[in-house]
């Protein structure tokens, strides 16, 4: 192995170095680090911390986007990390009003919540309907799979409570999607996994594969990648003949059919442009994450607040003291961008799938390889490459192109 | 007669400055030709599929054109919340 030395020095980054000018598509607000349950694969380090984001911080987080000219036509605000529903609907009534007030109707806003579903009741159903919340529930399929990892702090499975919540959502006509974490135990049960979601009437399913991240240091999928490939293939076969849309296949289909739009970065504001396919985890300020105390970061949302002294815990500023665009010019961002951009450049050079991905996930590079400048990760293989390859093979078969 | 070198000269390496431009640490540099071949093959496969998909579906017998399974199913694959479409990041 040859080792490439890191460049010394750090030029200041400016928003004008990027083309088109960055816009924020997803604002991730962390209303509280606290979670009422204790999943074994959770990456969050402070999920016993009951701090909450003040409404003033919510307002300021949204206002900074407007002041910084980061708004496009539509903004999604995701309330996430830890469990958003530990705060009551009354909190969100105020918080949503603060966002609307700060943004002043200049952008379409969609509020999204991802919840473990254990706290959903009648009042929450009414709230979701009243505000058109894009609701996602976290559920890993049948009880035997779900309750292995998704447990209370006393070790009790949460599946029964999730099923109760699903029944409530159905009764009230609240639309929702599901996100499951697929671990090694799931791989031999692709049919039971798919059947469960279909039986629940869930038609949109995202598969997050058990990732090594943050407080969760290793993935159960390591060493089981052949089985994972068979799982992906079987899931595709089922989704081709069933009602459940799997997000990873939908994303792969889109990349296969249309490709990804490109964006450019001019290093030091001049010189040849790096023209890369869009990947919001690797594009400055496309995703902005704000913690309960107003600290903010960008790139992979999982990074913010993770203990990593070399990158100042990925905190680039605080919404009460400065804006997002100004943070691009700080040494902290320069250092972070040097790593993230080196990682994207390495993917462009070393990965055949780069055109359909745009450079991987910085958080996974860091946690799996210890370096933002790394290339392929288990996350790449699980969530991008195998779904893409499966969809491509299927398309070739159907079009008579298979060798 | 000048002294003969004890060992043959070492083969030249790629200029370190060029490698440093990558800005990476501890990254193994794969055989570039192999990667380039893989990339070319994958892009050719994708191009072939796109070309095939751009053609009208085949008509079998006297019936309606037969849409392949993937194409017909994927027509329903556009309804995902946009925040998850933009990247493979998703909440747990």
Q: How far apart are CA A375 and CA A359, in angstroms?
A: 8
Q: How far apart are CA A363 and CA A183, in angstroms?
A: 19
Helix/strand/coil (H, E, C) string of A290-310?
Answer: ECCCCEEEECCHHHCCCCCHH
Q: Tell me if chain B has a CB within 8 Å of the CB of A383.
A: yes
**Which among A278, A373, A398 has the least Cβ separation from residue B25?**
A373
Q: How far apart are CA A89 and CA A87, in angstroms?
A: 7
What is the bridge-based pairing of β-strands A71-79 and A24-29? parallel
* Model pLDDT, residue B60: 62
Q: Which value, to the nearest 10 degrees, does the dihedral of the CA atoms of residues B50, B52, B54, B56 take?
A: -160
Chain A, 93-122: which have a CB under 8 Å from a chain B CB?
110, 112, 114
What is the bridge-based pairing of β-strands A295-298 and A317-318? antiparallel
Q: How far apart are CA B40 and CA B34, in angstroms?
A: 10
Q: Tell me if chain A has a CB within 8 Å of the CB of B54.
A: no
Average pLDDT for B81-90? 44
* Model pLDDT, residue B90: 36
Tell me the per-residue pLDDT of A309-346, one tens digit each, with 9 for 90 and over: 999 999 999 999 999 999 999 999 999 999 999 999 99
Q: How many CB pairs under 8 A join A and B?
A: 195
Element (H, E) at A137: strand A134-138
The closest of A174, A183, A192, A40 to A117, measured between CA atoms, is A174
- Above 50 in pLDDT, residue A152? yes
Average pLDDT for A228-257? 94
pTM (predicted TM-score): 0.88
- Least confident range from A180-194, A243-257, A323-337: namely A243-257
Tell me the per-residue pLDDT of A90-110, one tens digit each, with 9 for 90 and over: 999 999 999 999 998 899 999
**Which among A257, A384, A398 has the least Cβ separation from residue B69?**
A398
Q: Tell me if chain A has a CB within 8 Å of the CB of B27.
A: yes
Residue B29 pLDDT grade (very low, low, confident, very high; cuts 50, 70, 90): low
Taking a C-beta distance cutoff of 8 angstroms, is the pair A162, A176 a contact?
no
Chain A residues closer than 8 Å to B49 by CB: 256, 392, 395-396, 399, 401
Q: Would you call B88 and A248 a contact, using CB atoms and an 8 Å cutoff? A: yes
Please, which residues have CB within 8 angstroms of residue A61's CB and are 6 or more apart in sequence? Answer: A27, A29, A288, A290, A294, A296, A319
The closest of A269, A251, A176 to A208, measured between CA atoms, is A251
Give me the residues paired with residue A71 across strands: A24
Residue A88 region by backbone torsions, left for phi larger than 0, else alpha for psi between -120 and 50, else beta: beta
Q: How far apart are CA A353 and CA A360, in angstroms?
A: 10
Taking a C-beta distance cutoff of 8 angstroms, is the pair B68, A398 a contact?
yes
Q: How many Cα atoms are found within 13 Å in the side-chain-facing hemisphere of A60?
A: 20
Q: Tell me if chain A has a CB within 8 Å of the CB of B16.
A: yes
**Which among B22, B68, B85 has the least Cβ separation from residue A346?**
B22
> Over pLDDT 70: what percentage of chain B?
41
Residue B30 pLDDT grade (very low, low, confident, very high; cuts 50, 70, 90): low
Q: How far apart are CA A277 and CA A264, in angstroms?
A: 9
Chain A residues closer than 8 Å to B89 by CB: 280-281, 287, 300-302, 361
Taking a C-beta distance cutoff of 8 angstroms, is the pair A291, A32 a contact?
no
Q: Would you call B80 and A384 a contact, using CB atoms and an 8 Å cutoff? A: no
What is the bridge-based pairing of β-strands A262-266 and A18-19? antiparallel
Residue A185 pLDDT grade (very low, low, confident, very high; cuts 50, 70, 90): very high
């Amino acid at each position: 192995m040859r080792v490439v030395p890191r460049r010394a020095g750090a030029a200041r980054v400016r928003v004008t170095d990027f083309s088109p000018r960055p816009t924020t598509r997803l604002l991730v607000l962390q209303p509280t680090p606290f979670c009422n349950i204790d999943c074994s694969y959770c990456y969050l380090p402070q999920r016993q911390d009951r701090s909450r984001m003040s409404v003033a911080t919510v307002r300021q987080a949204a206002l900074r986007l407007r002041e910084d000219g980061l708004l496009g036509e539509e903004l999604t605000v995701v309330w996430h990390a830890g469990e958003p529903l530990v705060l009551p609907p009354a909190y969100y009534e105020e918080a949503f009003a603060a966002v609307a007030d700060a943004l002043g109707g200049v952008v379409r806003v969609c509020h999204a919540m991802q919840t473990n579903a254990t706290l959903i009741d009648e009042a929450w159903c009414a709230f979701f309907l009243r505000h058109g919340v894009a609701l996602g529930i976290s559920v890993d399929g049948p009880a035997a799979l779900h309750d292995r990892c998704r447990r209370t702090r006393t070790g009790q499975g949460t599946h029964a409570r999730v099923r109760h919540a699903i029944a409530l959502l159905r009764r009230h006509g609240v639309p929702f999607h599901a996100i499951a974490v697929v671990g090694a135990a799931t791989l031999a049960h692709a049919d039971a996994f798919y059947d469960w979601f279909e039986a629940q009437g869930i038609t949109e399913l995202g598969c997050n594969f058990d990732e090594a991240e943050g407080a969760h240091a290793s993935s159960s999928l390591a060493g089981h990648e052949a089985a994972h490939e068979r799982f992906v293939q079987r899931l595709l076969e089922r989704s081709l003949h069933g009602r459940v849309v799997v997000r990873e296949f939908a994303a792969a289909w889109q990349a296969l059919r249309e490709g990804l739009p490109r964006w450019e970065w001019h290093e030091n504001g001049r010189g040849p442009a790096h023209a890369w396919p869009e990947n919001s985890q690797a594009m400055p300020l496309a995703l902005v994450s704000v913690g309960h105390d107003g600290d903010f970061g960008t790139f992979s949302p999982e990074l913010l607040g993770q203990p990593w002294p070399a990158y100042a815990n990925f905190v680039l500023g605080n919404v009460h003291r400065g804006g997002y665009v100004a943070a691009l010019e700080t040494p902290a961002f320069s250092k972070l961008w040097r790593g993230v951009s080196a990682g994207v450049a390495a993917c462009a050079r070393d990965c055949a799938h780069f055109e359909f991905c745009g450079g991987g996930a910085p958080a996974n590079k860091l946690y799996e390889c210890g370096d933002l400048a790394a290339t392929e990760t288990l996350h790449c293989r699980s969530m991008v490459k195998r779904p893409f390859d499966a969809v491509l093979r299927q398309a070739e078969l159907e079009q008579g192109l298979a060798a | 007669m000048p002294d003969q070198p004890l060992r043959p000269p070492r083969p030249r390496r790629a200029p370190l400055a060029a490698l440093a431009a990558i800005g990476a640490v501890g990254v193994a540099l794969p055989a570039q030709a192999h990667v380039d071949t893989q990339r070319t093959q994958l892009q050719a496969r994708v191009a072939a599929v796109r070309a095939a998909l751009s053609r009208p579906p085949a008509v079998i017998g006297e019936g309606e054109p037969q849409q392949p399974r993937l194409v017909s199913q994927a027509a329903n694959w556009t309804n995902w919340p946009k925040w998850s479409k933009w990247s493979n990041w998703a909440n747990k």
